[in-house]
Structure 1
Amino acid sequence: MPSALPVADPAPADGALPSSALRGLGSRPFGVYVHVPFCAVRCGYCDFNTYTPGELGSSASPQSWLDGLRRELDLAAAVLGAAPSADTVFVGGGTPSLLGADGLASVLDAVRASFGLSSGAEVTTESNPESTSPEFFAAIRDAGYTRVSLGMQSAAPHVLAVLDRKHTSGRPVAAAREAFAAGFSHVNLDLIYGTPGERPADLQASLDAVLSAGVDHVSAYALIVEDGTALARRVTRGELPAPDDDVLASYYEMVDAALESAGLRWYEVSNWASSVEAQCRHNIIYWQGGDWWGAGPGAHSHVGGVRWWNVKHPAKYAAELAAGRSPAAGRETLTSEDRRVERVLLELRLSSGLPVEALDPAGLAAASTCAADGLLDPAALSAGRCVLTPRGRLLADAVVHRLLP
């Protein structure tokens, strides 16, 4: 979750939501996101709301964070009234695996205590390969986690060095195999492509490694040089070149071709899965504008057209909750037009596409032009949906701008 937070209206101290936001709650999928704000080191490209021990000092700790988390989840259940069971849980960060198996079990226990889990709930934790082991995977599987997402980024040591990643190049694949051996059916590996100095052969080696692991899900993202990061400072000083858009496009095509040929189909612009069951149901809630409560420092939430976000620092977060106040820093109520625009932005990224009824007349005309230009599938458009072509995926942002004139 990016470190910058929007500026909007104040959030009420009790966290109360308007009745309009609660209408229909439970009839839509409901997810719980838990943000773990701790990292052993800060990667040079990362602008997420995370803290290393040196940055955190003595002002907060995993225990004070966990105490705050329990309080926030109880607050969430009270705010939502007849709180829906969680259909999905996603523990992200930061580095959730730094909590250890016992810590992650405590997190899931807290979610169960406040919300309960739906039958067949998807429960994911992100993990860094270097802070996992066979025993770790066995313990979190026993605790109730059903899915693991591992940060691989690259198999090339010099690429990992530019990204300031500390794991050895072979560790992510080994960790994925350990997760399978522990009984996980669903394992994701994350890739980043377009790092300065990454050659086509390096990316191919990463793809070969991913496929050798036998994972059923891959997320692959073009490197973005975020303002304020160590990587951005190196690019500004001229130590490293900025990512090249043409290279990024060619690398995306490499990723897509390799994964598709191995039976992993794109279902979102940056995500591929071997089956519908392997898709990340929690992220689909985001992309389809569903309901979720984000707990933890800096976490974002959305329920029924109301969006809010928590204070960023773990010490402030824990203090607000200890004082009986919501940790929300601000919130906004989306207008019907806001929600329509976000629907276009997000659903267009899905392989299932965007229903044409989400477009206004100008957008409908633009969709026809996009189909003629090879950016949208003409057959899908005739059937009432806007579905990106392979070329359209490369230019997804431009397509969105055309559909929202």
Structure 2
Amino acid sequence: MRDFGVYIHVPFCSVRCGYCDFNTYAPGEVEGATREGYVEAALGEMAQAHDSMAGDSRPASTVFFGGGTPTMLDPTALIALLGGVRDTWGIAPGAEISTEANPDSVSAASLSALASAGFTRVSFGMQSAVPHVLKTLERTHNPDNVAKAVGWAKQAGLAVSLDLIYGTPGESLEDWNASLDAVVALEPDHVSAYALVIEPGTKMGAQLRRGEVEPVDLDTQADMYEAAESRLAAAGFGWYEVSNWAREPEQVCRHNLAYWRSQDWWGIGPGAHSYLGPRTGASAERWWNVKHPRAYAARIGAGESPEQEREPLTADDLALESVMLQIRLAEGIPRDAVAADKAGAIAALIGDGLLDGHAALAGRLVLTMRGRLLADAAVRALT
């Protein structure tokens, strides 16, 4: 039986960062949609989900509050939403319950309240420790507050993850190393590091078109990734997914790991995606909600589903997605998960140093360091 998780999308942020293309809204961008109304609508969607999943008795093994900045909501609101999950599906013993947070959006009291209510983990959007990099990203938090927030979270008994972005326009390798040193000094349980992708529809995308910013070249981004692996490994972190490291195996993000392993999840909130794999009487399918908080709340208020579109998935779709997602994991994928006619491609990837030859002989396809840098190329070759 597949694990079941719940994702709750909180679409509010204090400002919209120039690089962000997530479904988030700053004050003034959501006229007619309030935070109180959002909570009511999200609880209403959970009630609908309860009816839709009648007969499925799996409790949530993970709950993840993402956004946006979930901690823009008062702790009582987040606790009420977690209570809605408990009432709708139940929460499994030992469940991982995470929230993303901006370091400036929490206090010792708020984190303590969340921990007391059952939250187990907090993921802080640190992004960088270098002021000029944060300014380019339009991140508004005070970098000195990261250490305070981490300390408060640890005092509350929460596991701590720090999220970083590398390859920001104007960021040097020295800047990146300074951020890595700052992260290691804070001794988190988990670190995520993602290469900045400048999306066309963002403010930064427009700045790029106008020549106001210059992207960091790919070779420098590769150097930054290798620096992350070297520095984090030396500090005792092990990589378990291309962009994620954990100090101990039990400190991996179990919710995100469920995505990469094609487990089941229900997404609550505007723009949230859901996925249920093959089950008795039904094929695998994915669906997603309308994006705008006002439209989302209006549908829930009218007793209608917030679903915008649904996509059925064939066995071939599932096999393809399994390769695309699981090859990014340190455990890799079984050789027989890839089509038999890809033997030549596998040999070429081993020859090019993207796949571990010894692991392949043992029946698994595992990315090397070079393969992690060129993971997309490996996926294209295997699919």
Question: Do both share a fold (TM > 0.5)?
Answer: yes
Q: 1:69 aligns with which of 42, 54, 60?
A: 42
1:51-105 alpha-carbon deviations (Å, 9 max, x no partner): 1111112x11111111111111111121111342000000000010110211211
Aligned to 1:346, what secondary structure does the other structure show?
A: helix
- The CA distance in 1 between the partners of 2:217 and 2:148, in whole Å, is 32
In 2, the alpha carbon distance for the partners of 1:209 and 1:363 equals 43
Aligned to 1:92: 66
The answer as to 2:308 corresponding to 1:329 is yes
| Counterpart residue number, 1:397 | 376
In the alignment, the residues of structure 1 paired with residue 341 and residue 167 of structure 2 have an alpha-carbon distance, to the nearest angstrom, of 35
Q: Report the 3-state secondary structure (helix = DSSP H, G, I; strand = E; otherwise coil) of the residue aligned with 1:28.
A: coil
Residue 315, structure 1, aligned to residue 288, structure 2? no
Q: Which amino acid aligns with 1:93?
A: G
Determine whether 1:350 maps to 2:329: yes
Distance in 1 between the 2:218 and 2:338 partners?
29
Stretches of structure 2 lacking an aligned partner (at least 5 in a row) = 278-283
Match of 1:24 in 2: none
Instruction: Return the alpha-carbon distance in structure 2 between the equivalents of residues 115 and 74 of structure 1.
Output: 10
Q: State the Cα deviation string for residues 3-53 of structure 1 (Å, max 9, x = none).
A: xxxxxxxxxxxxxxxxxxxxxxxx211000000011110001000001111
1:13 aligns with none
Superposed, 1:146-161 pairs within 5 Å as 146-161=120-135
**Residues 173, 209 of structure 1: 8 Å contact kept:** no
Trace 1:206-221 onto structure 2 (pairs within 5 A).
206-221=179-194
Q: Which moved more, 1:241-250 or 1:278-287?
A: 241-250
Q: Deviations over 1:365-389 (max 9, x none)?
A: 2112211221111111111111000
**Unmatched tracts of structure 1, length 5 or more:** 1-26
* 1:357 positional shift: 1.3
Residue type of the partner of 1:177? G
Task: Output the CA distance in 2 between the equivalents of 1:201 and 1:100.
Answer: 38
Residue in structure 2 matched with residue 365 of structure 1 by the alignment: 344
Indicate yes or no: 2:25 matched with 1:46. no
State the Cα deviation string for residues 273-292 of structure 1 (Å, max 9, x = none). 01111000000110011100
Aligned amino acid, residue 279 of structure 1: V
Matched to 1:360, the amino acid is A
8 Å contact kept, 1:356–1:364: no
User: How far off its partner does 1:362 sit?
Assistant: 2.3
> Matches of 1:301 and 1:160 in 2, distance apart?
32
Contact 1:364 1:403 in 2 (8 A): no
User: 1 CA distance for matches of 2:169 and 2:188?
Assistant: 27
What is the deviation of 1:323?
1.3
What is the aligned length? 376
1:252 corresponds to which residue? 225
Task: Map 1:1-400; keep pairs closer than 5 Å.
Answer: 27-57=1-31, 59-83=32-56, 84-184=58-158, 186-304=159-277, 305-400=284-379
SS for the counterpart of 1:108 is helix
Contact 1:173–1:210 (Cα < 8 Å) also in 2: no
Deviations 1:250-286 (A, max 9, x none): 1000111100111111000000001111000000110
Q: 2 CA distance for matches of 1:82 and 1:282?
A: 23
Q: CA deviation at 1:361?
A: 1.9
Residue identity matched to 2:189: D
Structure 1 segments of 4 or more deviating over 3 A? none
Instruction: Verify the 8 A CA contact 2:108 2:152 in the aligned structure 1.
Output: yes
Q: Is the 8 A contact 2:170 2:216 kept in 1?
A: no
**Percent identity of paired positions between Structure 1 and Structure 2:** 51
**1:5 corresponds to:** none
Q: CA deviation at 1:313?
A: 0.5
How large is the RMSD of aligned CA atoms in angstroms?
Answer: 0.9
* TM-score, normalization by structure 2: 0.97
Q: Which moved more, 1:167-176 or 1:264-273?
A: 167-176
Q: Which has the higher contact order (CA 8 A, sep 6+)?
A: 1
Contact 2:171–2:216 (Cα < 8 Å) also in 1: no
Q: Deviations over 1:159-204 (max 9, x none)?
A: 00000000112222221121001111x2100000010111122111
Separation in 2 of the partners of 1:264 and 1:196? 27
Is the 2:50–2:89 Cα contact (8 Å) retained in structure 1?
Answer: yes
- Structure 1 SS opposite 2:29: helix
- Using the alignment, how far apart are the partners of 2:285 and 2:248 within structure 1? 32
1:237 & 1:374 partners in 2: Cα distance?
Answer: 38
- CA positional deviation for 1:243: 2.8
Counterparts of 1:183 and 1:288, CA distance in 2: 28
